[in-house]
Chain A
Amino acid sequence: MTNEVEMQKNTIVNKKFSDQELYRITWRWSLFLATIWNYEKMEAAGYLITMAPALDKLYKDNESARLHAYEVESQFFNCETNLAAIIFGMDLAVQDEFGEDGLEMAQAIKTSLMGPFSGIGDTLFSSVIDVIFGSIAVTTGLQGNYIGILLWEVWMFFAPFVLRPWLCRLGYREGLKLTTSLNDSLSELTKCGSILGLTVIGAMIATMVNIKFGTINFGQFTFNVQTQLFDAIMPKAGSAIVAFLCYKFLDKYGMKSARLIYIAILICILFSFFGILTV
Chain B
Amino acid sequence: MTTIQIILLTLLSGLIMIDFMSAHLTVCNTITTGIVAGVIMGNPTLGLIVGATLQSYALGLNYFGGASIPNYQVASIIVVALCGGNLANVPETIALIGIPVAALTVQLDVVGRVLNSFWQHQVDAVVPTGNIHQIMLRNAGGFLTWSLTRMIPVLICLLIGPSLVEQLNQIMPVWLLNGLSIASGVFPAIGFTILLKYMPLKGNIQYLILGFILAACFNASTIAVAAIGLAIALFVYSLDKNNKKLQPEIGFNEEGDNYDE
- A residues lining the B interface (CB < 8 Å): 30-42, 44-46, 48-49, 52-53, 56, 63, 66-67, 70-71, 74, 78, 81, 118, 122-123, 126-128, 130-132, 134-142, 144, 146, 149, 152-153, 156-157, 159-160, 188, 190-212, 234-236, 239-240, 242-243, 246-247, 250-251, 257-258, 260-262, 264-265, 268-273, 277-279
Contacts and interface: CB of A to CB of B under 8 A. Distances in A.
Nearest to A193: B233
Contacts of A131: 59-60, 195
B245 interface: no
B130 to A, nearest CB: 5
A205 B66 contact: no
Nearest to A240: B212
B50 to A, nearest CB: 9
A257 B24 contact: no
Given A42-B66, A200-B225, A250-B190, 13 more contacts: A30-B22, A38-B113, A38-B117, A44-B120, A130-B59, A142-B53, A149-B48, A195-B232, A199-B211, A205-B211, A206-B211, A234-B216, A258-B68
Contacts of B226: 132, 135-136, 196, 199-200
A190 B52 CA distance: 27
A160 B236 CA distance: 30
Nearest to A241: B189
B180 A265 contact: yes
Interface of B: 20-26, 29, 31-32, 35, 45, 48-49, 51-53, 55-56, 58-60, 62, 64-70, 99, 103, 106-107, 113-114, 116-117, 119-120, 123-124, 127-128, 130, 132, 135-136, 139-143, 145-146, 175-176, 178-183, 185-190, 192-201, 204-205, 207-217, 220-223, 225-226, 228-230, 232-234, 236-237, 240
Nearest to B212: A202
Contact of A203 (B60, B103, B222): B222
Nearest to B59: A134
Given A130-B62, A198-B211, A208-B56, A35 B190 contact: no
A38 B132 contact: no
B113 A202 contact: no
B208 A272 contact: no
Contacts of A48: 123, 127, 135
A190 B199 CA distance: 9
B56 A138 contact: yes
B201 to A, nearest CB: 7
| Chain B interface mostly | helix
Contacts of B199: 123, 127-128, 194, 197-198, 201
A132 B233 CA distance: 14
A45 B198 CA distance: 26
Q: Which 6 A-B pairs have the closest CB atoms?
A: A202-B211, A141-B52, A269-B179, A199-B229, A36-B142, A272-B179
Contact of A247 (B180, B196, B211): B196
15 contacts: A49-B139, A127-B198, A137-B31, A144-B45, A149-B29, A159-B24, A188-B237, A197-B199, A198-B207, A198-B208, A203-B211, A207-B222, A209-B192, A264-B190, A269-B183
Contact of A242 (B20, B127, B189): B189
B207 A199 contact: yes
B176 to A, nearest CB: 6
A268 B225 CA distance: 30
Choose among B35, B103, B181, B195 the residue with the greatest number of A CB atoms under 10 Å from its CB: B195
A239 B190 contact: no
Contacts of B201: 198
B186 A209 contact: yes
A158 B70 CA distance: 26
B47 to A, nearest CB: 10
A199 B225 contact: yes
B179 A239 contact: no
Nearest to B196: A247
Given A36-B139, A268-B182, A272-B175, A206 B212 contact: yes
A160 B221 CA distance: 30
Contacts of B31: 137-138, 141, 149, 152
Contacts of B23: 30-31, 160
B200 A123 contact: yes
Nearest to B53: A142
Contacts of B58: 134
Given A67-B128, A78-B65, A201-B208, A33 B22 contact: yes
